[in-house]
Amino acid sequence: MREVNKILVVIEPNDEKLKALQRAVAIAHKTGATITAYLAVYDFSYEMTTMLSAEERELMRRCMVEERTQWLEDVLEPFANQVSQIRPLVEWHNRPFEAVIKQVIQYKYDLVVKATHEHGVLRAVIFTPTDWHLLRKCPCSVLLVKEHDWPENGTILAAINSVSHEQQHIDLNNNIISTSQYMQTLLQANLKLLNCYPAGAVSLAVEIPEFDPTAYREAIRQHHLNSTLKYAEAFNIVEDNCILAEGLPEDSITQYARELDAELIVLGTIGRSGISAALLGNTAEHLLDGVNCDVLALKPYGFQSPVTLNKSKD
């Protein structure tokens, strides 16, 4: 995400603070981007009303869309003078994530902004929230907004996997860093480059008597450090702003985000589907419940969403 020209902000009526809208306006004010405020409405009872004809049900749907459009126009009015363009869009749709992604594909949005909420453990396994669908399937960058403010001179964490030799991951790392620097300029923030590496292999120390876990651990650390510093040099980031963290990415990123009181985490997410997505998720998803700052998730170049304008594959 080299620049932001078109923003799609997902409106949720139960978000009284309008966190996502305020964040989108803050970005658009600095970039000149246009904003579409999107609201998906749906009432299953309307579809189940057998006493009404199809025409009457359609009229009820139109009335509800018009009512919510008027509500949304009133919500947007105080922000009209802060951005170049902001418009409401209300659609009747029972799958909000799919509707949002279709808007992104059809109208080429650069960024989707959405407020996120805590998810219970059981719900996270059984029901996939809209946030997670967007992380996995939205082809453009997704900014999930939490409670943390965006003060000047705050901290942005750019989380990369520096040792991967796959071209997709290399391109994603470069995109993460360049996007973080773009956001750093917008927010007048401090940028920290964070790379996580695995803990020492304790099982090897048990099974192989001559195995030196300390030397192995240091070799792994040095390998990750050298790889991280190559990225830092390529993007003119000083070594003091590089962080090497031992442990799982979701744990380490969460820890440093709290310690540094970060305002934004930028990372990459590879779309998943099926059982692995439902039960395991990915680093971005694990982070959602653990941090109080915003998370900006980027897709690899060439990512193809399973959602299309004509159909979608779950």
Walk along the chain (314 residues) in steps of 10 and give the mean pLDDT of each run. 91 87 96 96 69 76 92 96 96 92 96 81 53 90 92 93 89 95 95 88 56 78 94 97 91 92 91 46 69 91 88 52
Give the per-residue pLDDT at 44. 66
Give the per-residue pLDDT at 164. 86
Give the per-residue pLDDT at 281. 47
Give the per-residue pLDDT at 71. 95
Give the per-residue pLDDT at 217. 82
Give the per-residue pLDDT at 119. 58
Contacts 24+ apart (CB under 8 A), 185-189: 186/27, 186/30, 186/31, 187/150, 187/152, 187/154, 187/156, 187/263, 187/264, 188/152, 188/153, 189/152, 189/153, 189/154, 189/155, 189/156, 189/263, 189/264
In order of their start, the domains of the chain are: 1-115 (3.40.50.12370), 148-314 (3.40.50.12370)
Residue 218 in tokens: 């240091």
Give the per-residue pLDDT at 208. 61
